[in-house]
Amino acid sequence: MKNEENKPQILHATNHYLYYPDEKDIPPYLAYGFRPVFLLLAPYMIISMILWGLVWSGTINIPFMDNILVWHVYEMLFGILGIGVLAFLSTGLPELFPGLVPLVGKKLKYVVILWLAGRLSFWFIDITGVYLAALLNLSMLGWLIWFARRAVLDKLQRHASLGYALLALLIIEAWFFASMAGHASTPPMDILKIGLGAHVVLILLALRRVNMEAVNELMEDKGIDDVYISRPPLTNLATFSVIVFTVVEFLYPNNSALGWLGLASGAAVLAITNDYVLKDKFILNQPYVIYLAFIFIMIGAGYALMGYAILMADFGSISHFRHFITSGGFGLAYLMVMIIIGWIHTGRHLTSNIYTHTMIALILLATLMRGLIPFYEEYAHELYLYSAIVWALPFMIYIKVFFKFLVAPRADGIKG
């Protein structure tokens, strides 16, 4: 008994480091899955969004792209999804399933190269053809599903929903490429709207895990004696509402019932913020709780505003209001994952400062500039461009603050 008491305590959050590969001479930027991902994702966000703003505002054109709108929507959904999910799964699954060998070194490099090849193939899809883009991009998502098979095959099904959501996205993406190749009659943009709904579902499911780690880590650092629990019923209701809205929008896009479903979906997503109301302690004044809550607020506002526009028969405003979900909700979700992992998984404490406050504020500002264009149509072209630039600024700040962590060994000396 005495020997048991003297054994060093192994924290659950570092169990996966017991199974770290013995590959030699791994550079720090390939020492864990999130490192090369964030080193590439931040610049890619900046380039893609500013380029889009310049094109859509009429400042420049891209002669080798036939359908610039489809390119923008696909890249902001499926293009970023692949690398974002790679960071999330390769960082989180080894923690959730001790014994799963972390993805590092040469194997990690090859997967990242596959994603880069997928981006080039889609940028030049009018030159290289649909089939190459389909092969590379579907291979990336297919590999991610294979990597996540432990979650799907888990007997307790604790995280199987993530795998099922990815499988649904793979089917939707294959459908999209079939449409692009002329093998499906559904317009590509209609398929991408279904893909957007599936992305929302995946983000809601992933945020349950992110919240559990980040909020409890924050409370531990602050000495708050309470436990945060992300309750499944609230997430399940929001997921169900989003799925129903997505299906009805595809089948009956002009039906007034869709308006009420939009309001219901918005309310269901906003209800998730009730998880932050703890029984004994008040945490709604903590920066990271506020940051994370804004994700649900933006997504909920997007669905509610779309519902309102449908009920008012203002169908032209729907695409603008949808940006509360994409620019606001998705932008904040990716940024928060990058920030939280950038602190915790480089061996540092979760920290809020002027940089993190500014990054969140800029995403919110850019979303308002883009999403509220229907109320300021005389400034539409300027708002298209300026909102894209403002949205890209947080990722520039991320480069300044976090890149030095991503290219250096962990601060606590642990591998990874």
Residue 209 or 139, more confident: 139
pLDDT digits (tens, 9 = 90+) for 323-355: 999 999 999 999 999 999 999 889 888 899 999
Q: Which residue(s) pair with 282 in the sheet?
A: 277
pLDDT over 90 (residue 160): no
Q: Do residues 125 and 64 lie in contact, with contact meaning Cβ atoms separated by under 8 Å?
A: no
Q: What are the two backbone dihedrals, phi and then psi, of residue 282, each rounded to the nearest 5 degrees?
A: -100, 120
pLDDT value at position 104? 87
SS3 state at 277 = strand
DSSP 31-88: SSTHHHHHHHHHHHHHHHHHHHHHHHTTS---TT-S-HHHHHHHIIIIIHHHHHHHHH
User: How confident is the prediction for the chain on average, in pLDDT?
Assistant: 89
More confident residue, 7 or 285: 285
Please tell me the predicted confidence (pLDDT) of residue 143: 92
Write down the pLDDT at residue 10: 38
Decide which of 151 and 39 is more confident: 39
Give the number of other CB atoms < 10 A from CB of residue 173: 25
Whether the predicted pLDDT of 4 surpasses 50: no
Q: Which residue has the higher pLDDT, 246 or 284?
A: 246
DSSP-derived letter for residue 307 is: H
What pLDDT is attached to residue 404? Answer: 96
pLDDT (0 to 100) of residue 15: 55
- CA distance linking residue 353 with residue 400, whole number of Å: 14
Q: Residue 164 corresponds to which tokens in the numbers above?
A: 């099922």
| Helix, strand, coil percentages, rounded to 5, for the chain | 75, 0, 25
**Residue predicted with more confidence, 222 or 276:** 276
Q: Is the pLDDT of residue 130 over 90?
A: yes
What is the band of 18 on the pLDDT scale with cuts at 50, 70, 90? Answer: low
pLDDT per residue over 284-325, tens digit each?
889 999 999 999 999 999 999 999 999 999 999 999 999 999
Residue 12 has what pLDDT? 44
Predicted local confidence at residue 14, as pLDDT: 53
- For the entire predicted model, the pTM comes to 0.92
199 vs 89, residue with greater confidence: 199
- pLDDT, tens digit, for every residue of 357-414? 999 999 999 999 999 999 998 998 899 999 999 999 999 999 999 999 999 999 888 8
Q: Output the pLDDT for position 55.
A: 86
Contact predicate 12/409, CB 8 Å? no
pLDDT of residue 16: 59
pLDDT band at residue 2, thresholds of 50, 70 and 90?
very low
Q: What does the alpha-carbon distance between residue 348 and residue 361 come to, in Å, rounded to a whole number?
A: 23
User: What mean pLDDT is predicted for residues 178-198?
Assistant: 96
User: Can you give the pLDDT at residue 120?
Assistant: 94
Residue 101 dihedral angles phi and psi, to the nearest 5°: -70, 125
CA 173 to chain centre: 17
Alpha-carbon torsion, ordered 256, 260, 266, 269, to 10 deg: -120
CA distance 104 to 35: 10
Q: How many CB atoms lie within 10 A of CB 288?
A: 23
**pLDDT score for 40:** 95
